[in-house]
Amino acid sequence: MRTVAEAAQQLTTALATVEPLRLYTLGDNIDPPALLIGAPQLTWDGYGPAATSATFPVFVIVAKNERALERLWEFVGPVAAAVDTVADAVVQTADPGTFPTGTQELPCYSLSVEVSL
């Protein structure tokens, strides 16, 4: 059994290995190509004070240009592979969208990553 903080640290460690993506935290100014781990949705499966799973949004963010879609497709596989190195973690979905940073909206995939706690 692990805490939410421990799960987040394990994801951070795994995702930091994906080159050439830079890993950011909430509130940072994003310089793509980038990764960012958001606040997780927590689930309690039964009684007790501790959550039993966490679903983290992991954003893969690229520059807004003519190669944006190609770059997103290029990066989503290695990011999913890095998540697979974390015990009891799985990518559930990858949803396209935009990520607000500064005065711009950057193209992104939001990966839903479920981690057992």
Q: pLDDT 10s digit of each residue in the chain, 117 long?
A: 899 999 999 999 999 999 999 999 998 999 999 999 999 999 998 788 889 999 999 999 999 999 999 999 999 999 999 999 999 999 999 999 999 998 899 999 999 999 999
The DSSP secondary-structure symbol of 36 reads E
Domains observed in the chain: 4-116 (3.30.70.1700)
Please report the pLDDT score of residue 89 as a whole number.
98
Please report the pLDDT score of residue 87 as a whole number.
96
Strands 34-37 and 53-61, sheet pairing:
antiparallel
CB atoms within 10 A of CB 103: 5
pTM for this model (two decimals): 0.95
Q: Are 59 and 110 in contact (CB under 8 A)?
A: yes
- The span from the CA of 93 to the CA of 41, in Å, is 14
